[in-house]
């Protein structure tokens, strides 16, 4: 008889906990609840075309963007699941202007704060294209037993103790890190469990995919324009031109590039000098995953995770993916911004 070995997310979490003899299980309990919320949201995403859940709910979120019904559903269910686990004292979400403090005794004693974009890629919800949930976990700074403070949330990404995403794609995956590499789990709908499918995810040092919304080309910084040209130039030695792939869902674009090697760029533009993506619950968690997989994440000038946040919904330019690709675009940006001449590993004269 063939022997099948399946490790579920919960088994994996419990086994990992054994590496920390002093652990009391609170953090494992929290990750378990993230898995529960992901399954609930997955169920709704999967039947989204069947029920009256598509479309806009009529509200606008703090960024003035219209909220979709599924955004609201995902937000409510993640907040409930994270609250119910009792390990988190407060939660911040893309969909809520301020952080939410859980005012019951158990949560007040919670050691962690949780940040999330409950349903990222919202423009893809109504058209059956991959979307995701992104989350980030920190140990609180404020004293246990007291009210959480903004300082608990405004910690640099380097202080994250875990981060991950759920990708609602052709299959549903949960990918996370606790700072010891990146692990991926695929949901087996027949048993309703996330099963270990990607044991140690490492991204190629270099890649051939570039992901950027080129519709905004005219407004890009010069360094980014030059990088795009570089990606398009024919050069047999470096196997260029590269391939352009852009879904418009950060989780899906990042996940593909993580596996295949590539770069994701959402730069600053003339009209949006800080870019579009949010530091705390989009860029920091993705940066933590990228670095743990051997890649890089930068705002073009410094590592994303070193930025000291100043507000909950702060935006940053975002460059992430294969190390060599991110380093090259950083060189080009710095060359144009600081007037710093950089020795580039290629010649642009051949471009046509
Ligand atoms: P959202 O949080 O409102 O969904 O916006 C974030 C999304 C990212 O998933 C994606 O990378 C980006 O916005 C796409 O933006 P654009 O449509 O400007 O290319
Ligand atoms: Mg988002």
Can you give the pLDDT of all 352 residues of the chain as single tens digits?
666 789 999 999 999 888 877 777 888 999 999 999 999 999 988 887 666 666 666 666 666 665 568 899 999 999 999 999 999 999 999 999 999 999 999 999 999 999 999 999 988 988 889 999 999 999 999 999 999 999 999 999 999 999 999 999 999 999 999 999 999 999 999 999 999 999 999 999 999 999 999 999 999 999 999 999 999 998 888 888 999 999 999 999 999 999 999 999 999 998 999 999 999 999 999 999 999 999 999 999 999 999 999 999 999 999 999 999 999 999 999 987 777 776 666 666 544 4
Element (H, E) at 244: strand 243-244
Condensed to tens digits (0 to 9), the pLDDT of residues 50-106 reads 666 666 666 666 666 655 688 999 999 999 999 999 999 999 999 999 999 999 999
Residue 123: predicted pLDDT: 87
Tell me whether the omega of the peptide bond preceding residue 324 falls within 30 degrees of 0, making it cis.
no
Residue 46: predicted pLDDT: 87
What are the Cα distances from residue 288, in Å, to 30, 280, 297? 19, 11, 8
Ligand index nearest the alpha carbon of residue 125:
1
Q: Give me 220's structure tokens.
A: 């890009």
Ligand 1 neighbour 121 (Cβ under 6 A)? yes
Is 219 in a helix, a strand, or coil? helix
Please tell me what DSSP assigns to residue 316.
Answer: -
What are the Cα distances from residue 282, in Å, to 71, 103, 118, 133, 286? 15, 26, 10, 9, 6
Q: Tell me the sheet residues that pair with 162.
A: 137
Q: Give me 103's structure tokens.
A: 């005012």
Is 256 in a helix, a strand, or coil? helix
Phi, psi of 34 (to 5 degrees): -60, -45
209-338 to CATH, choices 3.40.50.2300, 1.10.3720.10, 3.40.190.80, 3.30.230.70? 3.40.190.80
Q: Which atom of ligand 1 is nearest to the CA of 123?
A: 4
Closest CA to 279 of 235, 323, 314: 314
Ligand index nearest the alpha carbon of residue 267:
1
Give the start-end residues of each E strand in 94-181.
Answer: 100-101, 112-120, 131-139, 160-168, 172-177
Q: Which of 266, 272, 279, 281 to mutate to test the pocket of ligand 1 (most atoms within 8 A of CB)?
A: 266
Q: What does the domain layout of the chain look like in residue ranges?
A: 9-198, 209-338
Q: How many CB atoms lie within 10 A of CB 114?
A: 30
How far is ligand 1, taken at its centre, from the CA of residue 199, in Å?
A: 28
Q: Which of 63, 117, 120 to mutate to test the pocket of ligand 1 (most atoms within 8 A of CB)?
A: 120
Q: Give me 297's structure tokens.
A: 């994440």
115 — alpha (psi -120 to 50), left (phi > 0) or beta? beta
Q: How far apart are CA 104 and CA 43, in angstroms?
A: 29
Residue 352: predicted pLDDT: 46
Ligand 1 neighbour 250 (Cβ under 6 A)? yes
Condensed to tens digits (0 to 9), the pLDDT of residues 10-26 reads 999 999 888 877 777 88
Superfamily of domain 9-198: Fructose-1,6-Bisphosphatase, subunit A, domain 1 (3.30.540.10)
Residue 125: predicted pLDDT: 86
The CA angle 112-117-120, to the nearest 5 degrees, is 155
What is the model's pTM?
0.93
């Amino acid at each position: 008889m063939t022997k099948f070995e399946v490790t579920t997310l919960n088994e994996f979490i419990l086994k990992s906990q054994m590496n920390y003899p002093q652990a009391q299980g609170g953090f494992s309990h929290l990750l378990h609840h993230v898995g529960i919320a992901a399954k609930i949201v997955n169920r709704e995403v999967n039947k989204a075309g069947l029920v009256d859940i598509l479309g806009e709910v009529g509200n606008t979120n703090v960024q003035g963007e219209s909220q979709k019904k599924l955004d609201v559903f995902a937000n409510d269910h993640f907040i409930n699941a994270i609250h119910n686990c009792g390990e988190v004292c407060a939660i911040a979400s893309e969909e809520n202007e301020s952080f939410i403090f859980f005012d019951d005794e158990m949560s007040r004693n919670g050691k962690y704060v949780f940040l999330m974009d409950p349903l990222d890629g919202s423009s893809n919800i109504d058209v059956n294209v991959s979307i995701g949930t992104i989350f980030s976990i920190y140990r609180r700074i404020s004293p246990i037993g007291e009210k959480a403070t903004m300082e608990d949330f405004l910690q640099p990404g380097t202080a994250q103790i875990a981060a991950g995403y759920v990708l609602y794609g052709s299959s549903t995956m949960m990918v996370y890190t606790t700072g010891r590499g990146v692990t991926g789990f695929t949901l087996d709908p027949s048993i309703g469990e996330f099963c270990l499918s990607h044991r140690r995810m490492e991204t190629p040092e270099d890649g051939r995919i570039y992901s950027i919304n080129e519709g905004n080309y005219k407004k890009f910084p010069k360094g980014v324009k030059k990088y795009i040209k570089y990606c398009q130039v024919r050069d047999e030695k470096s196997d260029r031109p590269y391939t352009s792939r852009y879904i418009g869902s950060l989780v899906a674009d990042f996940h593909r590039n993580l596996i295949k090697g590539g770069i994701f760029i959402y730069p600053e533009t003339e009209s949006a000098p800080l870019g579009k993506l949010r530091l705390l619950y989009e860029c920091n968690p993705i940066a933590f995953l990228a670095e743990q997989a051997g890649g890089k994440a930068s705002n073009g000038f410094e590592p994303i995770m070193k930025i000291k946040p100043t507000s909950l919904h702060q935006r940053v330019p975002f460059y992430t993916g294969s190390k060599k690709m991110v380093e090259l675009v950083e060189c080009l940006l710095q060359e144009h911004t600081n007037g710093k001449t950089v020795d580039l590993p290629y010649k642009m004269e051949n471009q046509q």
